[in-house]
Amino acid sequence: METKRRTLGVLLFPGFEVLDVYGPLEMVGNLKGMIDIVMVAEHAGAVTSSQGPQTLAGEGFATCPRLDLLLVPGGIGTRKEVANEALLRWLRSAAASAEIVTSVCTGAGLLAKAGLLDGRRATTNKFAFSWVVEQGPKVEWIKEARWVDDGDRVTSSGVSAGMDMMLALVERLYGADLATTVAQRAEYEWHRDAAWDPFARLCGLVD
């Protein structure tokens, strides 16, 4: 099993989706000595989620260290942030030196708007699929997928899908045994099939 220590940066912005952030973090938060977590926002301080509770960003864009892994959540706030040039510039800069860039839900819209998914396969929340697709016309959007692994870009479907994506990433980086243990200790039923996606049909994206 690989033991490389990595830093995971989580992007926060007003109106982020709580589970998009904390679902994946539950799956890596106890991997002490393997993954260090940094919460990042445009400016350090409290950031209000779509649901109301705030999360403290310890780093602003100007002070954020180099990240090995980057997690971009979705949430209603993405509709505003796609026009935030400071955020898009930071995404491009952070992604340039990151090993893997990931997104949950409409977070893929931010990556797409920043040009970070151009020519890549990606997916997103099926209930907001058309809006996200508009942000990245050069992206190969996959309508039916729980998550899509395109090497150093890994995107997931809506909200809870981020947990399955992150467990798959733990498996890829640190081995299947550890990923299975993490899921079991969370008493979480891990959907291991990246193509499992009943919501694509529910939303009329596939027959």
8 Å CB contact between 184 and 133: no
Q: What is the C-alpha separation between 144 and 126, in angstroms, rounded?
A: 8
Q: What is the C-alpha separation between 21 and 34, in angstroms, rounded?
A: 19
Tell me the catalytic residues.
105
CA-nearest of 43, 23, 29, 20 to 8 is: 29
Q: What is the C-alpha separation between 150 and 155, in angstroms, rounded?
A: 8
Task: Find the angle CA(29)-CA(8)-CA(138) to the nearest 5 degrees.
Answer: 125
